[in-house]
Amino acid sequence: MQAVAAQLDGVNLFLFLCLCWAIWWCGNGKLMQGKCLEPLILVSRQRLVCNLHHTGLLPPPPIGSIKINFDGATFRQGQEVGAGVIGRDGNGAVLAWLSRRYDRVGNAEIAKALAAREAIRLALRRGWRSIIIEGDCASLIRKLQVSDPDFSQIGTVVMDIRMLASSFCSCSFQFVKRACNAAAHYLAQILFG
């Protein structure tokens, strides 16, 4: 994957990751439900998803800001978890990405919270000062947007993310639909084959 990333610019890497995610999604549908989309339908569907990025439905961050998408995925009934993170500049160029694996974590909400924390940590390591963190878990994004105490199962991770977020000149959290989070979703699953 790193060899592919090194050869593609940001837009083409995004398109490649969208297509990889579509192939995974189709294979998962075949495995779990015994059915898969026809190849032409699959490609058409992914063209639509990827066109969101180019038509402005997936707007770039403001000049000087970095947009970081995150996602988490569970495997083996939550016994294994993957976190995927991808950071892009205002031109859509991929600046950094990561995939991380955790064992014995629990559930999808915890997986997504850990991925959000990885997004913040990546931004700190890279020295980015103005960031927009995007994810497709509405309940987690709501928790990150407020300062209320969180006593839920992910409360300690949420508090950690909020604390790390205060290190930036600007840090906001935004909800995006799953279709707009395909690259991070793929990265969350890549370590599990």
Hey, which CATH number is domain 2-192, 3.30.420.10, 3.40.1160.10, 3.40.1170.60, 3.30.70.980?
Answer: 3.30.420.10
**CA terminus-to-terminus distance, the chain:** 12
Is the predicted pLDDT of residue 94 greater than 70, yes or no? yes
Residue of higher predicted confidence among 47 and 182: 182
Is the predicted pLDDT of residue 131 greater than 60, yes or no? yes
Cβ–Cβ < 8 Å for 159, 165: no
Cβ–Cβ < 8 Å for 105, 77: no
Cβ–Cβ < 8 Å for 66, 88: yes
pTM reported for the whole predicted model = 0.73
pLDDT tens-place string over residues 59-89? 778 889 999 999 998 887 767 888 999 998 8
Residue-wise DSSP of 10-69: HHHHHHHHHHHHHHHHHHHHHHHHS----HHHHHHHHHHHHHHHHHTSSPPPPTT-EEEE
CA distance 165 to 68: 13
pLDDT tens-place string over residues 150-164? 898 889 999 999 999
Q: Domain segments of the chain: what residues?
A: 2-192
Q: What local confidence, expressed as pLDDT, does residue 74 receive?
A: 85
What are 94's strand-pairing partners?
Answer: 88
CA distance 114 to 15: 25
CA distance 110 to 105: 7
Question: CA 99: distance to chain centroid?
Answer: 10
